[in-house]
Structure 1
């Protein structure tokens, strides 16, 4: 009776987003793919005490303590919680950014961002990096998640985009322009002191080089990594020149491949990983790769998983904006870009850069509830990446990139118990990740 009462109390706490009572758990019977390179553990047992993993073994080798709540994972693949390294909690798939900002910017902190965070968590994403949002709002949501007041993945946030200038008056709260090296340093100091985890650069080819250098140098002086867009060749060239740590996207317009000088510079940079640290790249390829298919079949828009936490009015507004997918301006150049993605992805993979799973989750049609598994599926079934490599790009390597791999990224003793379980053999059928059956975050079962 005591175990049953404890389980009910923890489930209730998870439902309302409050901290769970500490309990001992035993996940028993599934095939564990722990995020390392060792072979899967069949008939696995994972013991959890509070928020940490205490022991791992098999049903034959590791007894389950009498006071532990036993959770059967029979018939399931058990994995580390997924990470998505490029999300935007401030948007939820709407096709018109100007309208979304005008209508809902005041509702970001209390409605939209919490809704996005919960959708990600229910999809098995226990860690996420938000790369562009109003800083006060995203930092407040991060704090609320950390304190257990709302459900969501562990967040690592950039706050505002740092760039030459905002694109419109609507965007001044989350796009900060820089006018000089001194201004660039001051803005990085401001967000660093507020508590961001990473600095996001965009359109560096429109900035003056001393400004780029000032952003990167100030961020690195404060031990913050710098990520930058890689939509155009000079964004990559300048990012490499001034020490960017992680590039985002694979678009590069309709060019058939990356230019030879960029590949040479990439290979030179990755050859220096021993002294400079790894160079990371987050391709976010699935949103562009899948769009032509979405034009023909977009029944997923009528699903309800992406409604979680949003008001009926917001849901209706988003659906109306997606009534004609073929007219969405965001995707105007995709038909020319999509055929080039596989080649560019292969170039990046061969360059020595460490590729990370990230999705641009929240952009038009790319709902938080389904974005992450689609990127993993594309890597495996579209680009020929071994399943374990794709899984590690969504678990182990993100934790390394954010320098928290002592606590996250694999299912190993001593780490936080961020674990998902999926019915079936995920390593043979990675698209099963679209239906995550169990989610544990910091030892608390949230699904």
Structure 2
């Protein structure tokens, strides 16, 4: 089935690439043409879906979520009480919430027994509608370590190898390792403390590479960040540079420079309601978080946006709010942030044919009412979302003018 979408402007994906009065032609799940409206219309055998006052851009990519959690207070208790079938329904529903908000790719970094991977496979087979899902399955953590309840506890080299092999057999797209402790798991080490030593993290990276899988490391403490960088992980999740003992930050210029040199990507994983989160954590902590991002940016560290979706208040249907953090709080341009959430995120996560509008790319397309480059709030006004060519969510009257 062909679909022709025309708009006042098409943002192709990479920052700076803009087509005024443009069009995108989709055939089934693939983009076949992108360019000025008149040129693309001449190639089309379908009636245009016209959005003259709209902006068309690639679907958005959220690099860090947990679909097994419902984003409400008490979510962990509800997760632990739920059976697999209930969790599967919740995963599918929350993935669809994200899709209706313009997110066409989600990377999930921790679930029970690969449930997210089962939903991913159902979406890929066309049995249900949803975004493109990448999943890790149960993250590696020490006994009673951070997020032990996902089932990824390991103790010693052989257990590390076995857990990675089992995750690969589940169909994992990425291996997640809890390099440091975490606040939400009472039994685990504190957030600043290492959970694995350098040799163990190096073994995680080496074993994952045998299955051609990247490694995402949850790392809050500076010591954990250093160990993860030396081990050669692909992404650093949170990367909050907490000093040993938990008092203040320990910013290491040499390590930030090495992160950039190695091309390791940082996912800051900040929630959509970042202003409310700042009120909870305190203004000083919120300012420090912003300054850490700016500091890493000075060294050329690459970022991918994520929300830690599923944690309390980190909802799945307000990714625009999370991206606005980088505009309003960090001070980056809207153009840079959109690039980071589309083309840049796809590159960082190793996705091909995703994150840009070009012939041969997946038909992950978002049409907005307005211009997000001039008014970032336009990102909330979705008129049309295509996920691999399938239209989702928009009201019928918004499909044409």
**TM over 0.5, shorter chain:** yes
Match of 1:222 among 211, 217, 236: 211
Task: Give the aligned partner of residue 314 of structure 1.
Answer: none
Contact in 2 for aligned 1:109/1:141 (Cα 8 Å):
no
Query: How far apart are 1:416 and its partner, in Å?
Result: 0.9
Q: For 1:272-421, list aligned pairs within 5 A.
A: 273=262, 278-286=263-271, 289-292=274-277, 333=281, 336-370=284-318, 372-405=319-352, 407-421=353-367
Q: CA deviation at 1:185?
A: 1.0
Q: CA RMSD in A?
A: 2.2
What residue is the counterpart of 2:201 in the other structure? 212
- Quote the offset at 1:367 in angstroms: 1.0
- Where does residue 256 of structure 2 map in the other structure? 266
TM-score between the two structures when normalised by the length of structure 2:
0.88
**How much has 1:172 moved relative to structure 2?**
5.1
SS of corresponding position for 1:290: helix
Q: SS of the residue aligned with 1:30? A: strand
Q: Identify if the C-alpha distance between structure 1 residues 334 and 114 changes in structure 2 by more than 3 Å, giving closer, same or farther.
A: farther
1:225-278 residue CA offsets vs partner (Å, 9 max, x unmatched): 11112211111011111111111115445866542xx3212213422x4xxxx2
Q: Does 1:179 align with 2:155?
A: yes
Query: How far 1:347 moved relative to its partner?
Result: 1.2
Of Structure 1 and Structure 2, which has the larger fraction of its residues in helix? 1
1:234-273 matched pairs, under 5 angstroms? 234-252=223-241, 258-259=250-251, 262-271=252-261, 273=262
Determine the C-alpha separation between the residues in 2 that align with 1:426 and 1:50. Answer: 27
Tell me what 1:18 maps to: none
Call closer, same or farther: CA 1:445–1:103 in 2, change over 3 Å.
same
Picking from 111, 126, 130, the partner of 2:108 is 130
Q: How far does residue 435 in structure 1 lie from its aligned partner after superposition?
A: 2.6
Q: Distance in 2 between matches of 1:255 and 1:73?
A: 52
Report the equivalent of 2:191. none
Query: 1:184 and 1:292, CA in 2 relative to 1: closer, same or farther beyond 3 A?
Result: closer
Count of residue correspondences? 377
Following the alignment from structure 2 to structure 1, what is the Cα–Cα distance between the partners of residues 24 and 217? 38
CA contact (8 A) 2:130 2:387 kept: no
The whole-number CA distance in structure 1 between the counterparts of 2:358 and 2:339 is 14
Higher strand fraction (1 or 2): 2
C-alpha change, 1:237 and 1:172, in structure 2 (3 Å) is: closer
Match of 1:442 among 370, 384, 388: 388
* Alignment partner, residue 379 of structure 2: 433
